[in-house]
Structure formats: C-alpha cells, structure tokens
Amino acid sequence: VGVEKDMKKSIYHVEQAAIGGHAEARHNLAYEEYRTGRIERAVKHLTIAANLGLDESIEMLMKCYANGLISREDFAAALRAHQAAVDATKSPQREEAEYWETT
C-alpha cells in the first residue's frame, strides 16, 4: 500500500536541517526552489551550501553562471568561500585516513 508523502512536512524538516547548517539540505532546498521557478532563492541556497564546502553546489553554481543566472562577481565569491571551507577541513590526520581508505 505504501506511505502517503506529506511534502509540506518534508520541506519543513529539510528547512530545519538547512537552518542547522546541513549543506546537503541547503542543496536540496535549492533544487525545490528551482523546480518551482524561484531561481533567485535557489541560487541563494546553492551559494550557502557552496560556502559550507559542498562540491555539488559549486558545480550547480557553475552551471548557473554559464546560463547567466549569477554574476561573475557572485560566482567568484562563492568559489573563494567554497575553497576556504574545503581548506578548513584539511588536516594531516584526515589526509592519512584518506590515504589508507583508498589503498
């Protein structure tokens, strides 16, 4: 039979996760905003997620820039913030763990 989906409740919980700093939730909100035609809000969510270091969001912003939905300056700022977030998560311990994970 299955379970009925309550989209309002689903979006509410994704919004709560986004407010709490969950980058993938921000990315998902961007998708929902884009799907419903609110492009400007979608770009804002993608920018926040990219600033938190989410690679998928910076890739989507690159597509937005290519399609003229975001300015060069805004894209450059998001790219710098994304790189800063990625750099902030680097450590010798993480790099060693990644090395052993891939070998």
| 30 token code pair | 């961007």
Question: What's residue 20's pLDDT?
Answer: 95
Contact 51, 82 (CB under 8 A): yes
Question: What's residue 74's pLDDT?
Answer: 95
pLDDT band at residue 72 under the 50/70/90 scheme: very high
Cα gap 79→28, rounded to integer Å: 19
Contact 51, 85 (CB under 8 A): yes
- CA nearest 52: which of 17, 94, 85, 88? 85
Reported as a single tens digit per residue, the pLDDT across 76-101 is 999 999 999 999 888 888 888 888 99
pLDDT band at residue 5 under the 50/70/90 scheme: confident
Cα gap 48→6, rounded to integer Å: 26
Question: What's residue 1's pLDDT?
Answer: 59
